[in-house]
């Protein structure tokens, strides 16, 4: 789609588009929702039917992306992408207009450089090995940061050379939103005299070919006054290291990974945990795809352990529209209270089953 006419406040973009016939702007998105049923949604053991806000098979979004050919193999680019809840029409990612991505940059044979709010390397580290992705029942339930691994005020780089991918981000203030939740933790940073306040550094090294791939990523977040998760000082940190890989065996794809997390929070609250996952995707036919995954979260030094088993069946009505059903069961041990569905609730120490029927349309 060349140019966008009639969008207020976009005059500068239109002027640039008219000056260069090689500029390209695209509107894209996903609208995805359905109905979910979960057991043991509270301490009394009651069940609930609902329409989810955060995600179905994929989180709903609308985006604008553009490129301009500058010559010599160099391109200018931008991405503006916002998430929203189909059930209520509200904006996601801490009530941000473009909470999923908001960056501008340059791209060439040397890779891509980005400035702004962007997905960091933790986000990319599981994209190929996590066969369920941000499904309503997935490893996102065990670690809600994973589908929300984005950084405000960030400088990012990613390049791929002969199958080897190198990437990194550096954020001066990782999260400006105070709306709460994993996508809005209230750590704006950019504080004079405190170089660590709300900083975040992520890095990725990976390799892929037609048969298999593997990657390792590193992510460390610093806190500051008012930040969520007990990171109320710039001396507090939340660190994740992920090892992941996948292999294609005939038509079946197998993916697995392990995430080691160490939190050094206020008042000496230190938490170590490991998250493991193993899954597979089987295209039964051109239209029908079956995914399955087992994952486990172990909080070291405690009896809190959660094991999640999920199966998902997707029927593609076309290249852009699909019907799907997800089935899941989570077993919570000790005082664990991890809900099976992203954004859901469960009684402490209670097991939970869930089922969702939904429809997804991409444009």
Q: Which tens digits make up the pLDDT trace of 300-354?
A: 999 999 999 999 999 999 999 999 999 999 999 999 999 999 889 999 999 999 9
> Is the confidence at residue 5, as pLDDT, over 70?
no
pLDDT at 359: 98
Number of helices followed by number of strands (H, E) in the chain: 3, 17
Q: Could you tell me the CA-to-CA distances from 311 to 280, 281, 297, 308, 316 in Å, in that order? A: 10, 10, 18, 10, 17
> For the residues 191-208, what does the mean pLDDT come to?
96
How far apart are the C-alpha atoms of 245 and 253, rounded to whole Å?
11
240 C-beta neighbours (distance < 10 Å), count: 23
**At residue 20, does pLDDT exceed 80?**
no
What's the CA gap between 117 and 127, in Å, rounded? 19
Give φ, ψ of 141 to 5 degrees. -70, -30
Residue 195 inside a domain? The answer is yes
Phi, psi of 249 (to 5 degrees): -115, 95
Per mean pLDDT, which range of 176-180, 240-244, 285-289 is the poorest? 176-180
Query: What was the pLDDT predicted at 32?
Result: 98
pLDDT at residue 8 tops 70: no
Alpha-carbon dihedral sign for residues 262, 265, 271, 274: negative
> Average model confidence (pLDDT) for the chain?
93
DSSP for 179-201 reads: S-STT---B----TT-TTTT-EE
Window from 3-17, 168-182, 245-259, 314-328 with minimum mean pLDDT: 3-17
Mean pLDDT computed over 30-48: 97
**Non-local CB neighbours of 97 within 8 Å, separated by 6+ positions:** 82, 91
Q: Is residue 6 part of a domain?
A: no
Across residues 254-270, what is the average pLDDT? 92
Residues of the domain holding 357: 11-362
More confident residue, 328 or 8: 328
Phi and psi at residue 175, to the nearest 5°: -160, 105
**Looking at 109-189, which runs of residues are DSSP E strands?**
111-119, 150-161, 164-171
294 CB neighbour count, 10 Å cutoff: 13
Residue 268 forms part of a structural domain: yes
The three-state secondary structure class of 147 is: helix
Q: How many domains does the structure of the chain reveal?
A: 1
- pLDDT at residue 7 above 50? no
Asked whether residue 2 is domain-assigned, the answer is no
What is the percent of the chain with per-residue pLDDT over 70, rounded to a whole number?
Answer: 94
**171 — pLDDT class (breaks 50, 70, 90):** very high
Q: Is residue 1 part of a domain?
A: no
155 falls within a domain: yes
- Whole-model pTM: value is 0.91
| Residue 271 belongs to domain with CATH number | 2.40.160.10
Report the range of poorest mean pLDDT among 198-202, 286-290, 339-343.
339-343
Listed as own residue / partner, the contacts of 142-148 with beta carbons closer than 8 Å and 24 or more positions apart are 142/275, 142/295, 142/297, 142/306, 142/308, 142/338, 143/259, 143/261, 143/275, 143/297, 144/181, 144/182, 144/342, 145/182, 145/240, 146/122, 147/55, 147/59, 147/123, 147/342, 148/93, 148/182, 148/183
Has residue 98 been placed in a domain? yes
Q: What is the mean pLDDT of residues 148-168?
A: 98
Contacts of 198 (CB under 8 A, 6+ apart): 171, 172, 173, 174, 175, 187, 188, 189, 190, 191, 222, 223, 224, 227, 234
**Does residue 4 lie in a domain region?**
no
């Amino acid at each position: 789609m060349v140019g966008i006419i009639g969008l207020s406040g976009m005059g500068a973009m239109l002027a640039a588009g008219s000056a260069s016939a090689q500029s390209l702007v695209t509107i894209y998105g996903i609208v995805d929702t359905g109905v979910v049923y979960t057991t043991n949604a509270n301490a009394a053991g009651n069940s609930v039917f609902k329409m989810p806000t955060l995600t179905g098979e994929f989180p709903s979004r609308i985006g604008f992306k553009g490129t301009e050919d500058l010559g010599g193999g160099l391109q200018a680019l931008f991405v503006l992408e916002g998430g929203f809840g189909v059930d209520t029409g509200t904006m996601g990612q801490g009530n941000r207009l473009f909470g999923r991505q908001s960056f501008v940059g340059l791209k060439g044979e040397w890779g891509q450089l980005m400035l702004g709010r962007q997905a960091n390397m933790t986000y990319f580290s599981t994209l190929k090995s996590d066969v369920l992705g941000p499904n309503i029942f997935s490893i996102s339930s065990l670690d809600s940061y994973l589908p929300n691994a984005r950084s405000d005020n960030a400088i990012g780089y990613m390049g791929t050379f002969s199958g080897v991918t190198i990437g990194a981000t550096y954020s001066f203030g990782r999260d400006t939103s105070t709306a709460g939740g994993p996508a809005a933790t209230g750590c704006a940073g950019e504080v004079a005299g405190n170089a660590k306040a709300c900083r975040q550094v992520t890095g990725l090294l990976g390799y892929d070919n037609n048969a298999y791939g593997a990657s390792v990523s590193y992510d460390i977040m610093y806190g500051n006054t008012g930040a969520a998760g007990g990171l109320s000082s710039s001396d507090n940190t939340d660190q994740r290291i992920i090892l992941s890989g996948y292999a294609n065996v005939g038509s079946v794809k197998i993916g697995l990974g392990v995430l080691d997390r160490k939190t050094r929070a206020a008042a000496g609250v230190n938490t170590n945990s490991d998250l493991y996952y193993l899954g597979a995707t089987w295209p039964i036919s051109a239209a029908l795809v079956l995914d399955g995954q087992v994952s486990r979260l172990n909080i070291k030094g405690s009896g809190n352990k959660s094991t999640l088993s999920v199966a998902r069946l997707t029927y593609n009505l076309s290249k852009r529209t699909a019907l799907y059903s997800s089935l899941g069961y989570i077993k919570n041990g000790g005082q664990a209270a991890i809900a099976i569905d992203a954004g859901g609730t469960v009684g402490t120490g209670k097991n939970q089953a869930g089922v969702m029927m939904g429809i997804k349309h991409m444009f």
